Amino acid sequence: MAKKHEIIWMEETDSTNNRALEGANSYPDKTTWVADFQSAGRGQRGNKWTSTKAENLTFTILFRPKEVLAQDQFLISEVSALGVVRFLARHNVSAKIKWPNDIYVGDKKICGILIEHAVTGPYISSSISGIGVNLNQTEFPEGIPNPISLSLLTGAQYDRETEMDNLLEDIFYYYDKALAEYASNGKYSAVEDEYLSILYRKGEFHRYIECESGKEIEAKIVGIDKCACLVLEDRKGARKSYPFKEISYII
């Protein structure tokens, strides 16, 4: 792959997201920080991301899209998630996107993504996409829910630098595709449609917990709304939208 972006490899850091935040105003679009080990890696909902040293892909991409409205910031989540799914398909692994952007193989998690945005006026000035893909790790600490790795799925071990290049190529494929359509007509429908087509549990009835009340419900995912909230439909056909952290999957 032709190197059209900068990759900064580090043996250890507290969090690659922190390095990207520090460089958000000085490094170019698509700069990527990769660490063999993160001492304070962060996950969604304030959780810590745990990864064995030099076994997985733990990195953060700096996106500096031009003239993308803040209201369309979910574009970054979609291109990040779709890129990981495309990368796994290289290895004949079929994955789904667990809204908003975890990646699941069956009911097991192979990748987590944490995204942070900076906004100037009506536009995104920068976004950082922190991604952790379980690549070669075969043993996980107790207490980590339902983990899986590419190595456990295929029985192979992988060269991290080669796979890092492949994964970035796949993520930037969707990023460039989305930006080209957005510049043309202010939409990113092709990427959005593909994202919706591989949503984990879409169209199937499952149990969920409404986080504020603690109430358990049974519903099916029918899509996301214009605010990127998850839309669920119960067995009576009633629909409700849930922002992030207001609905929890029961797996």
What is the per-residue pLDDT across 165-176, written as a single tens digit (0 to 9) for each? 999 999 999 999
Mean pLDDT of 229-233: 98
* pLDDT computed for residue 5 by the predictor: 78
**How does pLDDT run across 13-68, given as a tens digit for each residue?**
999 999 999 999 999 999 999 999 988 765 544 455 556 788 999 999 999 999 99
DSSP 45: G
In the predicted model, what is the mean pLDDT of the chain?
93
Which segments of 121-214 are extended strands (E)?
123-133, 205-210
CB atoms within 10 A of CB 10: 15
CA–CA distance, 42 with 23 (Å, rounded to integer): 18
pLDDT, position 76 = 98
Cα atoms found within 13 Å of the Cα of residue 22, Cβ hemisphere only: 8
User: What whole-number percentage of the chain has pLDDT above 70?
Assistant: 94
Is the whole-model pTM more than 0.95? no
pLDDT in tens, 80-100: 999 999 999 999 999 999 999
Mean pLDDT of 204-223: 97
Q: Is the pLDDT of residue 131 over 60?
A: yes
Whole-number pLDDT of residue 60: 98
Per-residue pLDDT at 240: 97
pLDDT at position 2 over 70: no
Nearest residue to 61 (alpha-carbon basis) of 164, 145, 139, 155: 164
- The structural domains of the chain, ordered by start, are 7-197 (3.30.930.10), 205-249 (2.30.30.140)
d(CA 200, CA 173): 22
Closest CA to 79 of 65, 58, 59: 65
Q: Which residue has the tokens 């979609």?
A: 78
Confidence (pLDDT) at 51 = 66
- In this prediction, residue 138 has a pLDDT band, given cuts at 50, 70 and 90, of very high
